[in-house]
Chain A
Amino acid sequence: MKVTLIAFSLTLFAFLTHWVLWRIHIPRRQTAALLTIFSLVLLGGWAACSLTSVKAAGWGLDGPWQYLHVGIFHTAMMLGYVVAYSAIEEKSPSMTILSWVAKAGNKGRSREEVEMLLLRNSPIENRLQAMVRDRMVDLRQGHYVLTAKGRKWATVFHWWAGLTNAEKGG
């Protein structure tokens, strides 16, 4: 019971810390900031649970396996939240269309309006720019060239798609 309460409390505390900080200022590198906040809260929680006074009050953790139990839960929640946050940070085109059409109610939207909504954003150009920015590819004399990082990602997904018989995405 104690391990469960500590694990849930630490995750809740990390979320609240992030929520309050975001109300004050939204950092430029949001994912990195989230990972830092959650990791620091875990380390702080572990340190607090090893204090003699906390242990005397019945809230200490006993032995490495209990620390690991809290750590596995917290890390799983942190990664899950970071993944979900990417959808909060940037809306996908399909979700954008769905909520935009829903807001029009009974009037609906013409297909041209929806096309214009997405086309003005130059989706292909935006993605290529993002890939250059993330150093997945380099743009050299009009050619997109895979970087070492991009090659690793492409290989991982190629290997995984082969393993699971999946088709190319997009």
Chain B
Amino acid sequence: MRKKGVEPVLFAWYPIIVLAPVLALATNCSAHVAVARISGNSGPYRAIVRAAIVGLFVVVTLTLVGCSRLTLPSRDVVAYLVLNIVAYLALSFDYFSFVNLGLTSLRIRMLREIQAAGGSLAGERLGRLYDDRGLTNLRIDRLVSGRHLVLQDGRLYSQKGVFLAIAMLFDWLRWFVVGPRDHQGRGSQYMQSTIQRGKE
């Protein structure tokens, strides 16, 4: 019997609780590969979300099973559950960012293009493959087709949604972390100088 007030010492099941977020991440990655291969190219983000849910199930199950084997009091069960779920969500966010980089990053795309050309590519040819105007139009078109912006009579209007909320959240975080001296970020500084040049 465990003495009252003493932290549960390290029985065989405690390592399972400790490693639960890492095991859940491994499950998440494996499930993502499996779901992506089965479902083909039908929306890469759907596969990522499904795999993340499988991982979440694994972390909760392992933590609960481990805690029940150790017969921990309910406050410790809740504490371990919170600790492991938050750790797993952070790890999943890292994994999502890695996958997203491969899906959306222009730098990664150019690296792969150079590799496909045998490891070297003329700047002129890269310039023909990727031009600034094409890239800019693609971004605007994506935002319009994704209904984040509305194009009406040649003007773009904001559409309230998750993406805009995320953009606002990051504006606020920039202000909170970096402070008022640079709270609008490089993008806004750039915008202001662009507008100024436009006026000139």
Contacts and interface: CB of A to CB of B under 8 A. Distances in A.
Contact of B109 (A111, A125, A137, A169): A169
B10 to A, nearest CB: 5
A161 B112 CA distance: 11
Contacts of A140: 120
A21 to B, nearest CB: 11
B62 interface: no
Q: Chain A, interface size: which category? A: 35 or more
Interface in B11-60: 14-15, 17-19, 21-22, 32-33, 36-37, 40-41, 44, 47
Contacts, number: 289
A77 B87 contact: yes
B110 A119 contact: no
Interface of B: 7, 9-10, 14-15, 17-19, 21-22, 32-33, 36-37, 40-41, 44, 47, 75-76, 79-80, 82-83, 86-91, 93-94, 97, 99, 101-115, 119-124, 126-127, 130-133, 135-137, 139-140, 142-143, 148-149, 151-152, 154-158, 163-164, 166-168, 170-171, 173-174, 177-179, 182, 185-188, 190-191, 194, 197-198
Report, nearest first, the 5 A-B pairs whose CB atoms are least far apart. A170-B109, A91-B187, A80-B90, A96-B187, A102-B158
